Amino acid sequence: MISVVQNFICTKKKRLELLESEVPNMGKVFKDYEFFVNYNIKHHLDEVYEIYRKSISNLNFYNNLEHNWGLVTLSMVEEIKTKYTMIVCEDFEYRIDYDGWNEMMEEFIERDISYMPIGRLWKYTKEEYHDRYEEGKKLWVYSALNSPGSSLSVDAIYKTELLKEKLIDLMNYQSQRFPVHLPHHYEDVFHEPNGVTMWGEDVLCAIPKEIILMHKQEETETYLNKFGG
């Protein structure tokens, strides 16, 4: 039903240590899913591959060095046969277990959700956004027209065909605020008014009611390269 896609680099020792601690947790929560992982650099290649090999049972691992995040991600999405694709950062901290995740996903599938961001949950689960949502058991549900976010997220679950359409469309855009090798370029291009609301009132979206994943900003590749670490 769901496949996982990741496309990233790891140039800092601190990030490698984070992968060593969190990828095994990711592998436990998503143990039923097939993974398509591209490591977009040679540095730490053997170490990163070994971390994934030990933790992910159904793994497709690539070392495509093409300097274009959207193009490489699209090449993996085109291999996917499942209805849904999840793009998820490799270094999230997991605050949910296998059973809790699957209980939430039962509701997700039953409601035929098309898009669910899973990043920045610390923001979009706040009470100030609740009047946009319909309350479910484990999810807040809303139409794309009422999206709380200003961009399509690179940490999200998509219906695979919707994600593929967006990645193909991305090929029509040159670098704007961010270079094309960064996932930020995707979020920049598909920012409102070219974002989630473009799908209109009939496309159903959701967000988890709890902060099930947390991204530690001070340990991201961008932060460490900017401020050291």
- pLDDT (tens digit, 9 = 90+) per residue, 69-100? 999 999 999 999 999 999 999 989 999 999 99
Higher pLDDT, 220 or 114: 114
Would you give the end-to-end CA distance of the chain in angstroms? 38
- 166 close to 160: Cβ distance less than 8 angstroms: no
Report whether pLDDT(44) > 50: yes
Instruction: Tell me the residue ranges of DSSP E strands in 73-167.
Output: 84-87, 93-94, 115-117, 134-135, 139-143, 156-159
- Calculate the average pLDDT of the chain: 92
Domains and CATH numbers, the chain: 2-227 (3.90.550)
Report whether pLDDT(220) > 80: no
* Rounded-to-integer distance, Cα 193 and Cα 75, Å: 27
DSSP 180-216: TTSTHHHHHHTBTTSSGGGG-TTSEEEEESS--EE--
Instruction: Render pLDDT for 155-176 as a digit per residue (tens, 0 to 9).
Output: 999 999 999 999 999 999 998 8
Q: How is residue 128 annotated by DSSP?
A: G
Give the mean pLDDT of 42-63: 97
Report whether pLDDT(226) > 60: no
* Rounded-to-integer distance, Cα 82 and Cα 59, Å: 15
Give me the torsion for CA of 137, 139, 144, 150, rounded to 10°.
150
> Residue 216: pLDDT band by 50, 70, 90 thresholds?
low
Give the mean pLDDT of 20-41: 97
Sign of dihedral through CA atoms 119, 92, 221, 122?
positive
Point out which residues pair with 84 in neighbouring strands.
2, 159
Residue 175, CA atoms < 13 Å, CB-side half-sphere: 9
Written as six digits, the tokens of 228 are 């050291």
Question: Which residue type is seen at 126?
Answer: K
